[in-house]
Amino acid sequence: MSSRLFTPYSSRSLTLRNRTVVAPMCQYSAVDGLANDWHLVHLGRFALGGFGLVILEATGVVPEGRISYADLGLWSDAHVAPLKRIVDFLHQNGSAAGIQLAHAGRKASTPLPWRKGFDETEAEKPQVGFTAWTPVAPSAEIHAENQNFTPPAALDKAGMQAIIDAFVASTHRALEAGFDMVEVHAAHGYLLNQFLSPLANHRTDAYGGSRENRMRFPLEVIDAVRAAWPADRSLAVRISVSDNHPDGWQPEDSVAFARIMKGHGVDIVDCSSGGFSGGRIAPGPLYQVPFSEIIRREAGIDTMAVGLIDRPEDAEAILEKGEADLVALARGALDDPNWPVHARAALEGRTDYGLWPKQAGNRMRDRDKSLGIA
């Protein structure tokens, strides 16, 4: 029995071997934005496990756009070669490579999640590349008080143009590194989401007020990236379909935004939610899949579903019911980097030994024969 999850997926010139995706996950392990051995091993194991697409973490288009000082960056040519090493490994092992280009806005310059605030010693700081800075935002309003956030400065038009230029430069570098897909990060309360949301955007110029005005800057970024990214390569945008807040951005706003993005050359909407202080949603299995379904149905654009998708049967049902075109795992992929291999066996009643890398496939077949399960 063949499964929908393991049929190829095509977008422009990109064809994925299956519809399983590793969603971006910040690793807080870079120094000066440079990818290293941790990123190669962390990301490479997902290609070995059979995923169709691996998307790298939120990657700062400028140093000040990083969530933390330890995030990946693509603001200089020095970042290209370490990323190309990862891309080449993913390609050699059957996975496509995507990169999420990002600016954190007022949620930038935050501590690493496993530290107790900014507790780096003076001896540690140069070793880890510690820096701290004043972030920027649509409005000069802090994300949340007493939670290690810094009051931001409001962006002026020149600052906004500089950010657009940085997205373009990073897009060119992503092409040089060999990425198959660029994903623009406009979710989770970061800069482009801050412009979209009435919770964070209190501007009184052409970039604030009405929904049309609040969409203006994100669309300018998307247009610039689309123009810089080759026409035969796929472009995705990650959005928070809902702020999960009664006074915030709502699913109907996202439907309108997605319809416009489709007309601006966006191919896939990666559908998440939340990111602002005061937002409330109860996490649970498949809790964000309805956001993908409404965007796909109402905007007529391909979508990626995320959010505690763990069971292969659930992933298959999402595709069969037309709730998404791609299914993305984050923590689930961390828990089982070989999830696609195991999912195919569960759905089709057979192990696809060819989905294993050639160095492992025969050994796994021999093991299963010895155990009587081949």
What does the alpha-carbon distance between residue 1 and residue 57 come to, in Å, rounded to a whole number? 35
- Structure confidence at residue 143 as a pLDDT band (50, 70, 90): very high
**Residues sharing a CB contact under 8 Å with residue 204, sequence separation 6 or more, in sequence order:** none
Split into its structural domains, the chain has a count of 1
Average of pLDDT values for 22-41?
98
- Structure confidence at residue 1 as a pLDDT band (50, 70, 90): confident
Q: Which two tokens stand for residue 85?
A: 């090493």
**Is residue 116 over pLDDT 90?**
no
**Residues sharing a CB contact under 8 Å with residue 199, sequence separation 6 or more, in sequence order:** 243, 245, 247, 248, 249, 276, 278
Quick one: which of 217, 216, 271 has its CA closest to 239?
271
Over pLDDT 70: what percentage of the chain? 100
Q: What CATH number does residue 212 fall under? A: 3.20.20.70
Instruction: List residues with catalytic annotation.
Output: 190
- Tell me if 8 sits within 8 A of 96, measured CB to CB: no
**Neighbouring-strand partners of residue 223:** none
Domain hosting residue 52, numbered range: 4-371
What's the pLDDT tens digit per position in 280-307?
999 999 999 999 999 999 999 999 999 9
**Is residue 184 over pLDDT 90?**
yes
**Is residue 153 over pLDDT 90?**
yes
